[in-house]
Chain A
Amino acid sequence: MTHARIGKKIPPALALDADFEIAGLTALYGPAGGGKTLILETIAGFAKPDSGRIMLDDAILFDAEARVDVPPRRRRCGYVAQRDALFPHMTLRRNLLFASHGGARLERSRRVAEMLERFELTPIAASRPRDLSPAEALRGAVARALLAAPKLLLLDDRGFDEALLRAIREAFAGPVLLVTGDLDLCCAAADRLILLAGGRILQSGAPRAVVDRPESVEAARLLGFSNIFEGEIAALDPVRKSSRIEFAEFALAGPFVSGRFRGARVSIAVLPADLRVHSGDIERQPNAIPASLVRVSRGARAVRLEFSGGILAEVSFAEFERQKDNKSWQVEFPPQALRAL
């Protein structure tokens, strides 16, 4: 079992308090400055927590109460840092040989050659780190970390992609803790997702479950639910699995909110891409409210429409072109897109 309970205060910016398990590929997702890298550093042994316990395969790496603090060189945690740390005075092959200790020289060379081949680094093995592209340097850093035969792999946010993570998992069967700001990558490659903000774990679980069902307002905001409204449950229908929620200026039909009673306060979150926009001139759509367009911003793949009342909607370029001349607008909230927090 690989488990970490870490408490560390860095006043005034951060008070880290995290308790989590690492199994398979676990992704740590959160905003910058939330303590993600600090967690990796404490597990690797480069930063000392104020309290807590870190266990790797049932071996204690750190225990504040028992005053156990295993030095980094004995922790067997492969750490790929955010900044490139390939030794600049060595070639890529020598960098890998440095990590490959133990065994006969021939055996070490064979392991290095195998790792170079696996990460497609053989043609550039004689290059110095300064001559490598960022992607090659990243693959080199991963190959070097794996050659040290770690029990746990710690990957900081450095532009990992799905293909590289797949190659890592083919080469390494142990647990991997990945820090990333890419939610798509979390869903595509991770077995488990941990949401971290302000040094606190907001939610954890299977990536799809976490992304689809945020449990708190903070988690929802972190996952891109820009539309969060607080209202009151006006009606609950467990047979039809539906509810009616009244907000300050409008009311919506939503999904059944389990564990709450009529009259209870509830926060409803909706993704901007889940909202539908229509012209205000046509017949009022079910679960739609009239709104006036405040701002339009064109993104790389979609157009973001900001309506009065803080409502954000995202539509495709084609859809926007079709509707851009609307004199008035209505925004539809599909009941299945509403998440009760």
Chain B
Amino acid sequence: MENQQPSRRLFILSLIIGMLIGILVVRLWQVQVLQGASYLRQSEDNRIRDYTLAAPRGIIYDRKGRPLVSNRPAFTVAVLPLELRNPAIVIPRLAPILAMAPDEITTRIVSNRPRLFEPVRIKRDVGPNVVAMIEENRLDLPGVIILPEPVRYYLHGKMAAHVLGYLGEVDPDELAARQVEGYKPGDLIGKAGAERAYETVLRGIDGRLRMEVDALGRPLRVLSRLPAIPGRAIVLTLDLDVQKAAYDALVASGMQAGAAMAMDPRSGDILAMASIPSYDPNLFAIGISPKAWQAITTDRRKPLLNRAIAATYEPGSVFKLVTATAALEHGIVTRQTMFDAPGYFQLGQWTFGDLRAWGRIDFITGIANSVNVVFYTLGYRLGGEELAKYALMMGLGELTGVDLPGEINGTIPSPSTKEQLVGEPWYPGDSVNMSIGQGAITVTPIQVVRMLGGIATGGQLMQPRILLMTYDRNRSQHRADPFLQRIVPFQASTLAVLREGMRAVVERGSGLGARIPGLPMAGKTGSAENPRGKPHAWFAGYAPVGEPRIVVVAFVEHGFRGGISAAPVARAVLHAVFPQPADVEVPR
């Protein structure tokens, strides 16, 4: 008994030990042999970290090869969610270094939740102090990394903001649409202007650096490297000098809002497109802070709006060019036709006003001094349908097709559309009103530019364009071809009268303020009555007469009189194009 029991118990003990070891072996078989492949993959995921090598965006040049937008080296602070072991401790440590709120950091990380292996960018373009502080405290900031990433640099800030556009982080909708193109959350994408229009050209292809890292996420060695392919450079039709003149003149006008454009009517090349108020696209280049974004989007002056293409206004007296054209083409007026301009136009019980009484004048003087009564008379005789037809024919009220995003088309009212849309009949008074560019009619400044181009060139409507050429990866040039949209069938006699009248505007009429001694130019002023305040001021012109090389349109919101506030802007632009007008040879 005494001997038997211990040996039986030893046997039981052996069985228990044997069983436990059996369990161990079975478990090891399960983990190593059955699930081994899966664990091997996990161990690879563990040690391999892919870093994105950000491809620099293509540089944007002006037509003379001067850079407008380039890239500068900078550092981005990012977080690897998988290695952020202790967010509750690390984030409050990181926040003061970046001068951000901890919540802001948490929000950015959470919004990127499903992609644990991708770095989440917290702050772009941090200064050398921040980089140094993070490097020094690396051990206290596990999961925080610094990525070298170029930052977009707009050399001239606000000056050409609307044409050039800006970058922003790709938003969820865009991401869904463009994922196949390789966009990832947090990537920057062109949001406006040329940056957006030529996104696919400018954007490079990110490279990849595959690194082996240790348990603390410290890179140990490079396993493979796929170099980044930089984006292609583009050359815009802009001329930096003209652009600068246009922007500076707008700002110098002292007015709140406006736009100025210069275009070569022979090619459609836009030499300048300025809009105020402007903004600094550099703010967006580093991922704009929610507060700054809020401030810009809720600003009632709408600084993001490109007023040259994306805002419509009553054309005012600039529209008299359409009325004049229609009347000349119909033969109801000639150069010599005389008008009585008593300072008002009576239509039944309604009286339409004029600036003053002009007495008996000829048609050229009517154009030169923008005499309302002359155009009331013509518009009344032509009727709304004809005015609308000529407006559309000359390119108003439709998209010009400029290669910039956000263009809108405005409205050209006509008897037929008015009845359709408003349900009211077209009154003769509507035609009278429309003849001087008032009423429901609205256009964009760029439409006026194209229309002036048509008058200047004898009818050619060139599609306005911002892109001159692109470079490919081997630095060879690919020129964009000018595009002739259509030819407005002006009669030669019509053009002759129009041009003579427009010259008179600048030589002795309402557009004197645009005059540059020695430069033969043609133009038309406009003061557009509008329900929101003082009249908008317009000046539209071209130079040199006879061999037109430039169309210029200046527009100032609530500038009161085109000749007073818009013409000097146009003059400044022209001066930039023709610094020494005496040298400009013009056949008379």
Q: Do A and B bind each other?
A: no
A residues touching B (Cβ–Cβ < 8 Å)? none
